[in-house]
Amino acid sequence: MSTKRFYIIGFGALMLFDTLTQVSFKLATTHAGEFTPTTTWLWEVFFNPWIYGAVIGYIGSFITWMTLLKHAPVGPAFAASHLEVVTVLAISVLYFGEHLSAMQVLGALLIVGGIICLSKSEAEHEPPPQETA
C-alpha cells in the first residue's frame, strides 16, 4: 500500500471512530436527560445502547491510531487527528440542530487548512517510487 493511501484510509477511519464516540456519548446522555448526581442517572447512561457505540468508537480509534503510528510521525498525526472537531461540529449543526458562532466556523476552516498544509509537506517529501528489478 502506498503511504498516501495508508494515510487517507487511516485518518479517514480514525475520524469516523472518533466521531462515532462523540455522537454516541451525546445520544446516550440526551436519553438520560440532564445530569443529576444519582445512580439512576448513571444507570440510564450505562444501560443506554448508545454507550456501546462510544466503546466501539474508542476501541476502533485505539487500533487505528496504533496502526497509523507505525509509520506516521506522532506530532503531525496528532495535529491531523483534530479533523474530528470539524466533523463533530458539522453533525452538531446538521443532526442536533445546534448553532455555530462565526468564530467556530472560522476555526473549522483553519483546521481543514492546517491539514492541507500537513498533507502538502508529506507530498513534498514522499520518497520516489521504488524501481523494480
Partner 1 sequence: MSSLAIFFWLLNITLDTAGHLAFKSAAIAEHETEWHRWKVMLSSLPLWIGIVCFCLEFVVWLALLSLVPLSLGMLVGSINVVVVMVAGKMLFGERLDKMRVAGMWLITIGVALAGGFAS
Q: Interface residues with partner 1 (CB under 8 A)?
A: 65-66, 69-70, 73-76, 78-80, 82, 85-86, 89, 99-101, 103-104, 106-118, 120-121, 124-125
Instruction: Copy the grid coordinates of residue 61.
Output: 480509534
Measured between alpha carbons, how far is 37 from 105 in angstroms, rounded to an integer? 34
Nearer residue to partner 1 within complex by CB, 8 or 74: 74
Radius of gyration of the chain (CA): 18
Three-state SS annotation for 43-80:
HHHHCCCHHHHHHHHHHHHHHHHHHHCCCCCHHHHHHH
Q: Give the relative orientation of helices 83-94 and 3-32 as an angle to the nearest 10 degrees.
A: 40
Nearer residue to partner 1 within complex by CB, 49 or 55: 55
Question: Minimal distance in Å, beta carbon 71 to partner 1?
Answer: 9
Nearer residue to partner 1 within complex by CB, 92 or 131: 92
Question: Minimal distance in Å, beta carbon 90 to partner 1?
Answer: 11
Question: Minimal distance in Å, beta carbon 44 to partner 1?
Answer: 20
